[in-house]
Amino acid sequence: MTILAIETSCDETSVAIIKNNQILSNVISSQISLHQKYGGVVPELAARAHSENISYVLSSAIKDAKIDLAEVDYIAYTSTPGLVSCLHVGKVVADTIATYLKKPLIPCNHLFGHIYASLIDNQWEFPVLGLLVSGGHTQLVYLKEHLKFEILGQTLDDAVGECYDKVGRMLGLAYPGGPEIDKLAKSGQSTYQLPLPKNDKTLDFSFSGLKSAAAKVIQQEKGQLNVANFSCSLQKTIVQTLINKLTLAIEQYQPKTVVLAGGVSANSELRANFLNLKQKYPNLNFIVPKLEYCTDNAAMIGILSSYQIKAK
């Protein structure tokens, strides 16, 4: 079974070819440099860039996979959630290819794709608990079986990636702020006091209070702020918040597999702390996707679609 998968939900144009759950190609064209001067993604510019880049990305994916387009059995694409104008580009291209080849079209959920990225080079044992962390979402997801998603908790305000980016902007860092803060944190020390969210027993997240506290410190310190130390303090607070909630979910739901997913799963501090949980829970399988499958990519959409096809 050969699947051509398309991802255009935000600021990465990606096409992948999957054959029997093996990644033959996964081509990604990033728009970060396009949006940096605006400090964030501009939907109109993103959609236009997808339209301009998709043809090259598509042909590159087919070439890298060393297949003929006629060999494709299914066309998968990200249908939701995402920027509407960006999603539309991927849908139109997928629809066109499916019509031309007379092959089935498989719409996929972008967030579920991130969770399923962990199945690239890995296997699950159910039940599965997933911590999904990205620029737009922060969720704890539970699966008793394939494609049966239950959201246990989610952010009540800012997503974790959004918090990183907004504080990064306050610090005058390049967009996206998350990777910049991660780099700076490695050379700093946690010397600034930032509040952990209230230690409640729910599985929901809140980062607006931390963002406000960070803004207050930055304003008070003005030109005296040690940016590396502040980045380290912020990052440790964010990661501790995520790990605390994940630990609570593990205790409550007793999964056999725990997955870290989404763009923020590329964060070095979070990856290290997540994998350190193995010491506390040695009988659980902790999975973090390779860095190339953490950010938005079509390979994860292809893998997700393969399970959707099997379930039909």
pLDDT at residue number 1: 97
Sheet containing 22-30: order of strands: 22-30, 12-19, 2-7, 74-80, 105-109
Binding residues for substrate: 132-136, 165, 178, 182, 267
Indicate whether 176 and 92 sit together in one domain.
no
pLDDT band at 201 (very low <50, low <70, confident <90, very high): confident
Indicate whether 178 and 230 sit together in one domain.
yes
Give dist(CA 76, CA 50) in Å, integer: 17
The strand pair at 138-143 and 128-133 is best described as antiparallel
pLDDT at residue number 223: 85
pLDDT at residue number 312: 85
Rg (CA), the chain: 20
**Residue 265 burial (10 A CB sphere; 0-12, 13-18, 19+):** buried
What are the residues whose beta carbons fall under 8 Å from the beta carbon of 309, sequence distance 6 or more?
Answer: 1, 3, 74, 104, 106
Give dist(CA 117, CA 120) in Å, integer: 6
Tokens of 226: 């040690």
Give dist(CA 160, CA 94) in Å, integer: 31
- pLDDT digits 0-9 by tens, 37-67: 999 999 999 999 999 999 999 999 999 999 9
Indicate whether 229 and 166 sit together in one domain.
yes
pLDDT at residue number 222: 83
CATH number of the domain encompassing residue 187: 3.30.420.40
Binding residues for Fe cation: 110, 114, 296
- Tokens 């699950």 label which residue? 124
Give dist(CA 182, CA 269) in Å, integer: 8
Indicate whether 107 and 140 sit together in one domain.
no
Q: Which residues pair with 13 in a beta bridge?
A: 29
- pLDDT digits 0-9 by tens, 128-168: 999 999 989 999 999 999 999 999 999 999 999 999 999 99
pLDDT at residue number 200: 79
Binding residues: 110, 114, 132-136, 165, 178, 182, 267, 296
Which residues of 20-98 form beta strands (DSSP E)?
22-30, 74-80
Indicate whether 102 and 137 sit together in one domain.
no
Give the domain range for residue 95: 2-116+294-311
Number of structural domains found in the chain: 2
Indicate whether 16 and 46 sit together in one domain.
yes
Indicate whether 110 and 155 sit together in one domain.
no
Is residue 199 predicted with pLDDT exceeding 70? Answer: no
249, 140 contact by CB (below 8 A) = yes
- Tokens 């209230």 label which residue? 198
277, 287 contact by CB (below 8 A) = no
Indicate whether 85 and 142 sit together in one domain.
no
Is the pTM for the entire model greater than 0.75?
A: yes
Indicate whether 129 and 259 sit together in one domain.
yes
Indicate whether 163 and 53 sit together in one domain.
no
118, 128 contact by CB (below 8 A) = no
Is residue 4 predicted with pLDDT exceeding 90? Answer: yes
pLDDT at residue number 309: 98
What are the residues whose beta carbons fall under 8 Å from the beta carbon of 26, sequence distance 6 or more?
Answer: 14, 16, 61, 292, 293, 297, 298, 299
- pLDDT digits 0-9 by tens, 256-296: 999 999 999 999 999 999 999 999 999 999 999 999 999 99
Indicate whether 221 and 175 sit together in one domain.
yes
Mean pLDDT of 75-96: 99
Give dist(CA 103, CA 49) in Å, integer: 27
Indicate whether 239 and 93 sit together in one domain.
no
234, 167 contact by CB (below 8 A) = yes
